[in-house]
């Protein structure tokens, strides 16, 4: 009797699953999705603040207007915090290049400067005697909503524009600062 060696059964080739790579991709997708949502919210707020129709809040009763100011401020601050967290995760990640990390750091610093500017400008406008104000800076434009009892005089509008410009260090063109009264 002759012993014949049988061929070994073929092993199925298993693909190695790189969990770390899929986690990194998933995290990047989540960050990009978050940034996309922020872009949409910012676009909506920019449209609402720049439209020629009645400003957000409808100018109805003071309760509705106050809630609109608080809502706008809260939405803006929440969006900025989300942006800041996304940038911090990019900075802390080991899977980004030094150039990406540097760009994320610069963007985070610019975001923090914008947040400080908006807070300082709102405080100075309120200090001028206005009931409330919301300031939002988008690139080279600044939108200011001011809650007042009546309309703003051209002199008051100019004063508010000069306050905003002085907080920015006189680096912005006055025509890029839009002031809208809300009753």
Look at the pTM and tell me if it is higher than 0.85. Answer: no
Closest alpha carbon to 125 in 179, 172, 175: 179
In which region does residue 109 sit, left (phi positive, over 0), alpha (psi from -120 to 50) or beta (all else)? alpha
> How many C-beta atoms surround the C-beta of residue 45 within 10 A?
19
Across the range 90-113, mean pLDDT stands at 90
CA distance 36 to 18: 27
Asked if 161 contacts 126 with a C-beta cutoff of 8 angstroms, the reply is: no
Residue 63's pLDDT band (cuts 50, 70, 90): very low
| Per-residue pLDDT tens digits for 2-57 | 777 777 666 666 555 555 566 777 778 888 888 888 878 777 777 776 664 444 44
- Residue 20: exposed, middle, or buried by beta-carbon count in 10 A (0-12, 13-18, 19+)? exposed
For residue 179, what is the enclosing H or E element?
A: strand 177-182
């Amino acid at each position: 009797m002759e012993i014949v060696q049988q061929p070994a059964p073929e092993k199925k080739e298993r693909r190695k699953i790189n969990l770390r790579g899929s986690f990194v991709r998933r995290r990047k997708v989540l960050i990009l999705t978050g940034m996309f949502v922020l872009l949409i919210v910012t676009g909506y707020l920019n449209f609402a603040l720049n439209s020629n129709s009645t400003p957000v809040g409808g100018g109805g009763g003071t309760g509705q207007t106050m809630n609109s100011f608080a809502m706008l401020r809260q939405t803006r601050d929440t969006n900025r915090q989300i942006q800041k967290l996304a940038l911090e995760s990019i900075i802390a990640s080991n899977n980004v290049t030094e150039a990406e990390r540097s760009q994320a750091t610069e963007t985070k610093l610019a975001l923090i400067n914008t947040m400080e500017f908006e807070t300082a400008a709102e405080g100075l406008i309120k200090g001028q005697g206005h009931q409330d104000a919301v300031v939002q800076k988008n690139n080279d434009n600044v939108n200011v909503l001011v809650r007042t009892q009546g309309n703003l005089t051209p002199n008051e509008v100019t004063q508010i524009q000069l306050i905003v410009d002085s907080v920015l260090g006189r680096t912005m063109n006055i025509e890029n600062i839009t002031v809208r009264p809300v009753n």
